[in-house]
Structure 1
Amino acid sequence: MGLSIKHNHFAVKHSRLSSKIDFGEKWYDIKCSKEYWDEIKPIFDKLQNYKNDKKIWKELKNKENEIYLPILKAFKDEIIRQEKNNISTLLVKYLIGKFDFYKMISVDKEKVTKIQSYNHLGTLNKNAKTITIPGCCFAR
């Protein structure tokens, strides 16, 4: 049985973009293009320079335009380039997982633990659904 245990959030995946991770290969078995790597290299080089200069992230003034937006644009452009390979189904399979699983989420504000089933392959209990257990927080 697969379990995913979360504390105060409901995300299914926490995927990362980086200067080394080939998200295409990892997510849907098709390597990212040279164009993608060429687009992100100067952005991650800039981040490395900030790190070398011991700059503190919260003190960077223009990170939205310098870092976030260019990386997201490169990511979007790569997804569009890769769509010629019909990656939509593969991407959805990556996002919801290769196996059925239960996700437990401790929600401090509500003082509950929620259990959700992800039964897209039909290997879990046929009546699997989200349940809430009052007063139960396992993440303490």
Structure 2
Amino acid sequence: MQCFRPHFSYYESHLIGCAVGRVGVRFDDIIELSGKHFKCIQEDEGILKLNPVGIDELSCKMDNQTYSHLANWTDTSRAAQMSCMYGHLKKTGCLVAERSIPIGQEVQISNGCVFLCHPQTNVYICDRKLGNWTIEEGGDLAKATARKFSL
């Protein structure tokens, strides 16, 4: 259960997951108990349950390929080291010129730019123009429209 105070009003409590002894498990997260896996679900308002989870539900899918729970692999097309844990994909590092780069580390690359291994995408930081290039028309970014958001 979690307490919070919305819009300077009275405190409210909300169910956020299951508790097993002193261990908390958020909704839709998985826990291992005595070698078996369980997922915390909310059946009805206020009714919480730990559902048994099969080993196939712990696998991950990426690019039409299935990876088992606790699998580690290198995706050369993304220059990324990946892992599968409890059905969730996680980028654990980057691979640049056969060298493993940890998440968050910056390295100088041969063209004078800096490569940043980021958990979501690879980032190239360059302070100078990189040859002749053009913006491709018709790509997803070209279709983006400006939107106004208000809080």
TM-score (norm 2): 0.20
Please identify the structure whose Cα radius of gyration is greater.
2
- Give the structure-1-normalised TM-score: 0.21
* Highest RCO, 1 vs 2 (Cα 8 Å, sep ≥ 6): 1
The structure where helix makes up a greater share of residues is 1
